[in-house]
Amino acid sequence: MQAMVLETQAAAETSPLVLRALPDPVPGSGELLLAVEACGVCRTDLHIVEGDLPLHKRPIVPGHEIVGRVQACGPNVTAFSPGDRVCVPWLYATCGACRYCRHGHENLCEQAQFTGWDVDGGYASHVVTRADFTYRLPTGMDPVSAAPLLCAGVIGFRSLRLAGAQQVQRLGLYGFGGSAHIALQVARHWGCDVYVFTRGASHRQLATDLGAVWTGSPEDTPPVRLDAAVVFAPAGQIVPLALQAVDKGGTVVCAGIHMSPIPQMRYELLYHERVLRSAANSTTDDVRDLLAVAAEVPVRTEVTPFALTAANDALQRLKASEINGAAVLVPG
């Protein structure tokens, strides 16, 4: 099999991923072997490549927004058959026994493993996955268009839930990339008026095209007080701006796995029962529910495809905010 492998963390501009021919993987008990059809390029991949997140495995094949076809089933797999089109998210596996797993919060499992961080991921022609953490792709979904749903989409979906988006009217989204452009469509489906804060002119235009009622920069004051906001940009200085924009009792959710330091801020920004919280990973229910909602809306993902061998270029353009929507590797 062919894979883009990270051996040493370095700036994306140095093209740290290298093409390698690796042994063909063999699925074990409860596992599937997939032929990868598409793999989204997520900002978390960038954090792993550049060293913002420590390596859990060296070398590692990144990538955790995977759509593919089942090529082979290991022993004790009954839910899937060769030829099935399936998808794989960031959460690779959990222990299933800790207090978090027992109460439906497996996203917080202390023993959780993550695709493309703890185990090799989808920047490859083939990947092995756990059958119990693999999901059927809804009928009719295009693999390339569906790939960003598996992390960008699902973490945005979880963030919307934590923000109470199904119960609020005015929602702010800070940063507008692969995750936010999906979250906007789900929020609009739920009846929210969405206000988008982003510096890129092309990102503002895409937000408007997808139904945002207002766009501006993160420093701008929206025309109304917001009921809730989600911060997708990994920039800590945006958090006080979002708290300032939400009304009394409002919630601000930080959606990223990594963020630069949040600056010191006045207590008054939290007063009047404003809530600041993070979204961590996702549960199996989040993935299933997001896939169902995405098919129902239907969600339109804005994607820029890249060949597998162009993974470094995709990461560089993601870092420079030159991708409108999401980048997707297509092994071909």
Q: What is the pLDDT of residues 84-128, one digit of tens each?
A: 999 999 999 999 999 999 999 999 999 999 999 999 999 999 999
pLDDT for 254 equals 98
- The label of the residue with tokens 């979204």 reads 279
pTM over 0.95, yes/no? no
- Cβ atoms of 122 and 115 closer than 8 Å: yes
CATH (residue range 153-278): 3.40.50.720
pLDDT bin (cut points 50, 70, 90) of residue 35 is very high
pLDDT greater than 90 at residue 325 = no
Rounded to an integer, what distance in angstroms lies between the CA atom of residue 18 and that of residue 10? 12
Side chain identity at 220, as an amino acid letter? D
Q: Which tens digits make up the pLDDT trace of 235-294?
A: 999 999 999 999 999 999 999 999 999 999 999 999 999 999 999 999 999 999 999 999
Side chain identity at 301, as an amino acid letter? T
Of 68, 70, 72, nearest to 144 by C-alpha is: 68
- Cβ atoms of 38 and 328 closer than 8 Å: yes
Rounded to an integer, what distance in angstroms lies between the CA atom of residue 125 and that of residue 331? 6
Q: Which tens digits make up the pLDDT trace of 163-215?
A: 999 999 999 999 998 899 999 999 999 999 999 999 999 999 999 999 999 99
pLDDT for 268 equals 96
Burial 193-202 (b: 16+ CB within 10 A, else e): bbbbbbebee
3-class DSSP assignment, residue 191: coil
Q: Which tens digits make up the pLDDT trace of 63-72?
A: 999 999 999 9
Question: Long-range contacts of range 16-23, CB-CB < 8 Å, 24 or more positions apart?
Answer: 16/49, 16/312, 17/49, 17/62, 17/123, 17/311, 17/312, 17/315, 19/308, 19/309, 20/59, 22/61, 22/124
**How is the chain split into domains, by residue range?**
2-150+282-330, 153-278
Confirm whether 2-150+282-330 and 153-278 share one CATH topology.
no
3-class DSSP assignment, residue 73: strand
Of 132, 125, 93, nearest to 109 by C-alpha is: 93
What are the φ and ψ backbone dihedral angles of 66, each rounded to 5 degrees? -110, 135
Q: 2-150+282-330 adopts what CATH topology? A: Quinone Oxidoreductase; Chain A, domain 1 (3.90.180)
H or E element, residue 3 = strand 2-6
Of 204, 211, 269, nearest to 237 by C-alpha is: 269
Is 168 buried (19+), middle (13-18) or exposed (0-12) by CB count in 10 A?
A: buried
pLDDT for 332 equals 81
pLDDT for 191 equals 97
3-state helix, strand, coil in the chain (%, to 5): 30, 25, 45
Q: Which tens digits make up the pLDDT trace of 141-153?
A: 999 999 999 999 9
pLDDT bin (cut points 50, 70, 90) of residue 324 is confident
